[in-house]
Structure 1
Amino acid sequence: MTELAAASDISPADAVRALGLARMRAIATGLLGLMALVFVAASLLQRHWPAFAYVRAFGEAGMVGACADWFAVTALFRRPFGLPIPHTGIIPRNKARIGEALGGFIADNFLTERVLEEKLRQLEVARWGGDWLRRPKNARRLAERLAGAAPKLLSSLPPGAVGDLLGSAALAVARATPAGPAASKVLAALWSEGRAQPLFERALDWLGDYLASHEEAIRTQVSEHSYSWLPKWVDRILADKLIHGLVQTLGEMRDPQHPWRRELAARVEDYIARLGADPDLQARAEAYKLRLLADASLRGQVAEVWSGLETRVGTELTENPADLAGPLERAILALGNWLAGDAQAQAQLNARARQLVSGVIAPRRRQIGVFVAQVVASWDARSVVDKLELQVGRDLQYIRINGTLVGGLVGVIIFAAARALGLD
């Protein structure tokens, strides 16, 4: 087994390859030993049985073939027996050139715009991603990893970085979103199907409670603003009538069919429709939005809110990182189901992926090739040898085995031919 296989950080796949390489080495070396035994035994037996000369020739030629192929295979990765034999240790002596060739091969055959776009069209990245994300096992594993990495990521960022990023993103989205149509959609969603009615009834309850708790203040205001010649007991009666009338009106407005309530609904619906279609009203809404976003006090309040959220989220994640896994898993599953079922979204995301490839990866394929070459060149010679030998060493041991058997057969043929021609 190679030194790499003995390393503590070897991957499971490399461990399997190392065991396979060690096994094939043992078989090839054992076959060489077997040829040596055949040669010795046949040499002794041919004294009594001349036919064993053919077996002796097979063993002799098999040993030669086994030794020659062992030398050839070993010379690829290192110097046999550590001797400075010319043209040995080919891979470690040429690792820089191998890295350049590998980088150029990847750049020219895998990272061209045509190849990448064709492969992306075949893969259907968005649909594949949706199918992968909506599998509960994948969503759970991804959520757990993201939740585990979140505290470390947040702690590594400068203070306020997340808040600044989210705040800037929110302001950018707000500036780019037309205020009128967006407000129209939000209000329509809140108002439709009676979603706003509980809020309206809650407001009626709040007004009723307010009147009940401020009756004396209302009587005082009525008395101060009535005619000075009216007696105080008249002011009190007027105030009680006013309070009673207001409370009774509020109670009546709890009925969805109350005329005032129906009129209010009609006005709200008309305003929502105008927000989505009236250019003048949309222009006023847009101007108000821009003034609001330009307000320094608002920006300060937003930054303060984001900062508080960042601190709270960071503390919660540090103390209870597993609490984030559940919501993340549900969000990932929802995202996967949306991607898998929305053909239009798939087409848009696939188009964006192809644009990304065309605009970012393909134009920089040469730099990527150079990066690959630099990575290979930065490896030490032992690392290069170990990595390549684990990948192809097992197959190269078959060369030794084949060389032993083929060499033996060729040796027999040559020996038989020499005898037939009277050359021995």
Structure 2
Amino acid sequence: MTESQKRKQLFKYKALATGLFLLMACIFITTTVLQKQYTSHWIGYIHAFSEAAMVGALADWFAVTALFHYPMGIKIPHTNLIENSKQKIGDNLGNFVVENFASAENIRPYIEKIKVTGFLSEWLLKKKNQEILVKEIAVLLKNAISQFQDPDIISFIAGKIKEAGENLKINHILSNGIFYLLEKGEQQTIITFMSSKIKNYILENDELIRDKVHQNSYSLVPKFVDNKIANKITTGLASFFEDIENNPDHKVRNEISDSIYQFANEIKTSDRWENELGKIKASILNEDKLNDYATDIWHSLKKTLMSELDNDHSALKQYAQKNIRQFAEDLNKNESQQNKIDQWIRFNAYRLILKNTGKVSELISTTVGNWEGKELSRKLEVEVGKDLQFIRINGTIVGGLVGLIIYTLAAFI
């Protein structure tokens, strides 16, 4: 029922109670006049009834009105009780709710019935509900992302990059990377590849070697001799690199591996390399570049996230829905896990409620205390005023009956 409807009901029953009082007043006036003209005994009885009924009606009107207003605007002590005692009402109401509704004995039976996981798993197993949950999460994330201040996020990212970069020793990272490749034998693959390429290059460019031999030979040396020398050089070099390519234990391979190891060790321990690589790191981590990096990272990430969250069939949403479904299936099958989670929820709910009963009382007391006195009176009168009008009606009738009884007894004495 709306407040407007409640107000109409209140007005209706106020009018009924007031109308009954006016009826008694009219009867009283009429019987007063009739008593002067007639001597019938029944007039006295009606007169006594109406007189006492008016007294009862006025007394109960005063009592009901005094709860919410000053009767006739006169500031009589102990009237307008709701407005003048709102803080006390709030305190008492808060204590009443806590003592009768939030006590350990009252809440324990309800807490023990809590079984969230069964309902949750069944609910989440339905595809429609999974989609609803994913959409709601997406809306929350979009709202959160849209409220982020770009400069603050960029500054945060730049700060984290700088913090991480300053703690990095580039020479150690580089040397450890080389040591790792050596440990895995990756240099052998490179040596094999390079040996094959060099061998093939030599064989494919034998004319170039022949021309070089001719250019550096004496004019008295016959050309066929130069060609023979060139062929020997070509086949010798090709054979040398072929041996390196095919022999994993070749001396050259070992020498190259040793040189790489020494180079990696020098990078790690040498002050020169540490300084040189430190300069490179410093040039990368200067403030302008960091802001550029952070801006690119954030704008790219933000654009990607917003696009994924807007698309109902995005990989991100499908991944989220898949994990929700998997979680629901696992939870639904695992009764032991359900019991553990429900027990945890019951324990913490029980503890949380008992821990905050004082705050519940304080909340009710503060809320009622902060209400405007007149507004509180108005609210309560609208809610219970209709029923209180029956006190006025009953007071009128009961008062009349009591007056009639007293008049009757007096007549027989």
Q: Tell me the TM-score range normalised by the shorter chain.
A: 0.5 to 0.7
In the alignment, which residue of structure 1 is the partner of 2:389? 397
Residue 15 of structure 2: SS of its match in structure 1? helix
- Matched with 2:408 is 416
Aligned-partner residue type, residue 15 of structure 2: A
Aligned to 1:15: 4
Q: Matched residue pairs, number?
A: 286
Please list the CA deviations of residues 332-378 of structure 1 after superposition, one character each: whole Å capped at 9, or x if unmatched: x979x979967666544432332332343321321332232122211
Deviation at 1:144, TM superposition (A): 9.5
Q: Does the 8 A contact of 2:111 with 2:349 survive in 1?
A: no
State the shift of 1:139 in Å: 10
* Residue of structure 2 aligned with 1:91, choices 82, 89, 98: 82
Aligned to 2:369: 377
Please state if 1:35 is matched with 2:35.
Answer: no
Task: Judge conservation of contact 2:111–2:350 (CA < 8 Å) in 1.
Answer: no
The offset of 1:381, in angstroms, is 0.6
Residue 321 (structure 1) shift: 12
1:357 aligns with 2:349: yes
Alignment CA distance shift 1:152-1:98 (3 Å)? farther
Distance 1:157 1:389 in 2: 48
Which of residues 17, 20, 25 in structure 1 aligns to 2:14?
Answer: 25
Matches within 5 A, 1:74-89: 74-89=65-80
Q: CA deviation at 1:130?
A: 7.4
Moved more, 67-76 or 112-121: 112-121
Which residue of the other structure, out of 45, 56, 62, is the alignment partner of 2:47? 56
Deviating more after overlay: 401-410 vs 143-152: 143-152
Q: Alpha carbons of 1:310 and 1:359: their partners in 2 closer, same or farther (altered >3 Å)? A: farther
Unaligned runs of 5+ in 2: 157-194, 207-290
Question: Quick one: structure 1 residues 398 and 111, their matched pair in 2 at CA, closer, same or farther if it must change by over 3 Å?
Answer: same
> What are the equivalent positions in structure 2 for 1:8-407 lying under 5 Å apart?
13-46=2-35, 47-48=37-38, 49-122=40-113, 124-125=115-116, 155-156=146-147, 226=200, 308=300, 310=302, 347-407=339-399
TM-score (norm 2): 0.52
Q: How far, CA to CA, are the matches of 2:77 and 2:397 in structure 1?
A: 27
Distance 1:19 1:106 in 2: 30
1:24, 1:397 within 8 Å by CA — same for their partners in 2? yes
Q: Is the 8 A contact 1:126 1:339 kept in 2?
A: no
Specify whether residues 310 and 26 from structure 1 end up closer, same or farther in structure 2 by C-alpha distance, changes over 3 A only: farther
Counterpart of 2:372, as a letter, is D
SS of the residue 2:41 aligns to = coil
How far apart in 2 are the matches of 1:38 and 1:321?
Answer: 80
What is the letter of the counterpart of residue 24 of structure 1? Y
Q: Partner of 1:246 in structure 2?
A: none
**1:195 equivalent in structure 2:** none
Superimposed CA distance per residue, residues 168-221 of structure 1 (whole angstroms, 9 cap, x where no aligned partner): xxxxxxxxxxxxxxxxxxxxxxxxxxxxxxxxxxxxxxxxxxxxxxxxxxxxx9
1:40–1:365 distance in 2 versus 1, CA, 3 Å: same
Q: Which runs of 5+ in 1 are unaligned?
A: 1-11, 165-220, 233-299
Q: Could you tell me how far apart the structure 2 residues matched to 1:18 and 1:126 are? A: 45
Contact 2:102 2:354 in 1 (8 A): yes
Distance 1:226 1:131, change over 3 A: closer
Residue 54 and residue 356 in structure 1: after superposition, are their counterparts in 2 closer, same or farther (change >3 A)?
same
* Residues 97/56 of structure 1: CA separation in 2 closer, same or farther (3 Å cut): same
Deviation sequence 1:8-28 (CA, Å, 0-9, x none):
xxxx64334333322222222
Q: Distance in 1 between matches of 2:127 and 2:51?
A: 63
Q: 1:143 to 1:376 in 2, by over 3 A?
A: farther
TM-score normalized by structure 1? Answer: 0.51
The alpha-carbon deviation at position 72 of structure 1 amounts to 0.4
Distance 2:28 2:203 in 1: 141
Structure with higher Rg: it is 2
Distance 2:53 2:127 in 1: 58
Match of 1:198 in 2: none
Query: Partner letter of residue 366 of structure 1?
Result: G
Q: 1:420 to 1:373 in 2, by over 3 A?
A: same
Secondary structure of the structure 2 residue equivalent to 1:51:
helix
Identity between Structure 1 and Structure 2 (%):
31
Q: How many angstroms apart in 2 are the aligned matches of 1:33 and 1:339?
A: 75
Q: Describe the superposition over 1:38-90 as per-residue Cα deviations: whole angstroms up to 9, x where unpaired.
A: 32334344544431322222222221111111110111112111111111111
Question: Aligned pair in 2 of structure 1 residues 50, 146: CA closer, same or farther (>3 Å)?
Answer: farther
